[in-house]
Amino acid sequence: MTYTKLVVIVDDEELTLKSSKRCLQGNGITNLALISDSLAVLPFLESNPVSVLVLDLNMPKLSGLELLPRIIEKYPYIPVIFMTASDEISNVIECMKAGAFDYLVKPVESSRFVATVKKALELCDMSHELSLLKQQLLSGSLENPSAFSAIIFRNRRMKALLQYIEVVAPTRQPIMISGETGTGKELIARAIHDVSGCRGEFVAVNVAGLDDNMFSDTLFGHKKGAFTGAELAREGLIAKAAGGTLFLDEIGDLSETSQIKLLRLMQEKEYYQVGSDIVKKSDARILLASNKDLPEQIKQGKFRNDLYYRLRAHQVNIPPLRDRIDDLPILFEHFLECAVKTFSKPKPTVSLQQMTAFSHYDFPGNIRELEAIVFDAVARHQTGDITIDIPGQWQSGEPSDQGVVVDPGNPFVKIFGKFPTLEQVEGYMIEEAMKVTAGNQGMAAHMLGISRQTLNKRVGEKVKA
């Protein structure tokens, strides 16, 4: 991974400057400026967009201690990392209190030096993202509406989600996409790729059901002769996604061994082809998705804690269709148009009763289920209003309320999601009265206008049920 933001190293020792430069360049941090005169620091900051400043504490003319307050006053958003000799720890504590980001004790271990600078760059990215997000939310509009043309919405929560995506998509950090089955995780992943500006391909793979061997071969490829039948070498999908985006769906199903390999890929941007001991580098942006509760998977020992925290640099949680029901009419219309084109049929009419009843369905399969229902209805339709069959509804042999239109603003509908039965209302009122009175049956009975004996009987019946 290559970091493009400007990192400035300030030290009066040329040897330290050169060794620091080699160390960072070898780890993908190539946009560097070296300053040996401490008096040149402030003029340089005025004319250059600096992201991270590495500053020696003890320098002639102007020390790091003297520079820090001036830098923080004018450039509070620039993380300052101090390098110091071990006998200056008291000064370091003073600098940290004054607002320094971190400190390194000379001689600096290369791995710690690189890790600290990368952490500061990530902080810089997050600060920039926060600023952009504030601007986006205040503007109330999308900067790249064409990138989201395949996503049908009018829901405010969805709009806020897409505004957030516009902010985080250009970063190279991994993005975790979560949501129930059928909510459109791959569609969102494609939109992230389009907004990101990545020039490479978008490559998607569902890793559910892949054992470790299949996972490694699919992602990393193999050398010729790596296993029986490997007559030709093959590059994996990670190579195909070079300069682009790799989207891994259903990562909650990965084996522990595969999780370790994925963690290495994400941390070090390195991998091995099957049958090879030569390390390969990757610059692909990684997006991940799961419909499983990964924190619960961690508790059960099925998912690695370190991998989870690595992949959740940014999180995109897609709401289920039942939580964006105001999108139902335009989604329905979109799929209806697609279906009539597919089946070469005239567009059917939809009754208000059907649409109202349709809006009370929970859609456990979300948008994918809605699409299937609409296509099925169009395929079967002959004449008149279209008939929409919703699984589990109006098929119990009981009288149907399909023809009854209930105002969605009805207070009962707001509470129960549909017009309730008397039994449901009674149970709800009893529960609320017991909550308000902290379980005092006498007071609850008085509130409900019934005797305590009647309430006791109702509560007993509910417990038995």
- Percent helix, strand, coil in the chain, to 5, is 50, 15, 35
CATH at 260: 3.40.50.300
| Structure-model confidence comparison of residues 267 and 139, the more confident one | 267
In this structure, are residues 252 and 290 in contact, taking their beta carbons and an 8 Å threshold? Answer: yes
- Range with lowest mean pLDDT among 155-159, 337-341, 390-394, 424-428: 390-394
Same domain, 177 and 254: yes
Cα separation, 37 vs 59, whole angstroms: 8
Say if residue 450 is exposed, middle or buried (CB neighbours under 10 Å; 0-12, 13-18, 19+). Answer: middle
Using CA atoms, how far apart are residues 410 and 408, in angstroms rounded to an integer? 5
Cα dihedral 225, 228, 231, 237 in deg (nearest 10): -80
Listed in sequence order, the DSSP H helices in 227-351 are: 237-240, 256-268, 294-299, 305-311, 328-343
For 52, the 3-state DSSP assignment is: strand
Is 1 contained in some domain?
no
Q: Tens of pLDDT along 339-354?
A: 999 999 999 988 887 7
Which of 131, 151, 185 finishes a domain? 131
**DSSP element (H, E) containing 395:** none
Taking only the tens place, the pLDDT of each residue in 326-337 is 999 999 999 999
Specify whether 123 is located in the same domain as 181: no
The answer for residues whose C-beta is within 8 angstroms of residue 66's C-beta and 6 or more apart is: none
Q: Which residues contact 138 (CB under 8 A, 6 or more apart)?
A: none
* Same-domain check for residues 314 and 325: no
Q: Per mean pLDDT, which of 120-124, 143-147, 259-263, 348-352 is the most reliable?
A: 259-263
Residues 266, 185, single domain; the answer is yes
Which of 74, 104, 131 is at the close of a domain?
131
- CB 37, CB 14: distance < 8 Å: no
Element (H, E) at 41: helix 41-47
Question: Do residues 275 and 198 both lie within one domain?
Answer: yes
Indicate whether 115 belongs to any domain.
yes
Q: Do 380 and 433 fall into the same domain?
A: no
pLDDT of 426 reads 79
Q: Which of 55-69, 126-140, 195-209, 436-450 has the lowest mean pLDDT?
A: 126-140
The mean predicted confidence, pLDDT, of the chain is 84
Q: Residue 242 falls within a domain, yes or no?
A: yes
CATH code for the domain in which residue 57 is found:
3.40.50.2300
DSSP codes of every residue in 78-90: S-EEEEE-GGGHH
- Here the tokens at position 250 are 């259903």
Residues 168, 195: Cα–Cα separation, whole Å: 9
CA atoms in the 13 A half-sphere facing the CB of 417: 9
407, β-bridge pairs:
none
Cβ count near 275 (within 10 Å): 16
User: Does residue 34 lie within any of the structural domains?
Assistant: yes
Distances (CA, A) of 274 to 205, 279, 280: 18, 11, 12
Distance CA 103, CA 81 (A): 5
pLDDT reading at 25 higher than 80? yes
The answer to whether residues 172 and 213 belong to one domain is yes
Decide if pLDDT at 396 tops 50: no
Phi, psi of 83 (to 5 degrees): -115, 135
The pLDDT, as a whole number, for residue 88 is 63
Q: Could you tell me if 252 and 226 lie in one domain?
A: yes
DSSP string of 100-117, one letter each residue: --EEEESSPPHHHHHHHH
Does 417 have pLDDT greater than 70? no
Q: Using alpha carbons only, what angle is made at residue 327 by residues 323 and 330, rounded to the nearest 5 degrees?
A: 160
Confidence band for 411, pLDDT divided at 50, 70 and 90: low
Interacting residues of 460 by C-beta distance below 8 A, sequence separation 6+: none
> Residue 403: which pLDDT band, with cuts at 50, 70 and 90?
very low
Mean local confidence (pLDDT), 130-137: 60
Q: Does the reported pTM lie above 0.75?
A: no
Helix (H, G, I), strand (E, B) or coil at 164: helix
Please give the structure tokens belonging to residue 230.
Answer: 């490997």
**Which of residues 312 and 116 earns the better pLDDT score?**
116
Q: Categorize the per-residue pLDDT at 358 as very low, low, confident or very high, splitting at 50, 70 and 90.
A: confident
Residue 414 lies in a domain: no
The CA distances from residue 193 to 200, 219, 316, 431, in Å, are 9, 19, 14, 49
Is the pLDDT confidence value at 406 over 70?
no
**More confidently predicted of 421 and 381:** 381
Q: Which of the listed residues 99, 131, 163 is the one where a domain comes to its end? A: 131
Higher pLDDT, residue 123 or 49: 49
User: Looking at the predicted structure, is the pLDDT value of residue 47 above 70?
Assistant: yes
Domain membership of residue 70 (yes or no) is yes
Confidence of residue 303 (pLDDT cuts 50, 70, 90): very high
402 has a pLDDT exceeding 50: no
Higher pLDDT residue, 163 or 44?
A: 44
Give the pLDDT of residue 394.
40
Q: What pLDDT was estimated at residue 463? A: 58
pLDDT band for position 86 (cuts 50, 70, 90)? low
The reply to whether 413 falls in a domain is no
Whether residues 146 and 281 fall in one domain: yes
Residue-by-residue DSSP string for 332-369 = HHHHHHHHHHHHT-PPPB--HHHHHHHTT---TTHHHH
Number of domains in the chain: 4
Spatial distance between the Cα atoms of 465 and 452, rounded to a whole number of angstroms: 20
d(C-alpha 451, C-alpha 441), whole Å: 10
Look at 169-178, 388-397, 414-423 and tell me which has the smallest mean pLDDT.
388-397
- Indicate whether 299 and 358 sit together in one domain: no
3-state secondary structure of 183: coil
Asked if 351 and 439 sit in the same domain, the reply is no
CATH number at residue 357: 1.10.8.60
Domain holding 325, by residue range, is 320-406
**3-state SS class at 144:** coil
% of the chain surpassing 70 pLDDT: 88
Clarify whether residues 333 and 298 are in a common domain: no
Decide if 416 is inside a domain.
no
11 with 17: CB under 8 angstroms? yes
Residue 400: CB atoms within 10 Å: 12
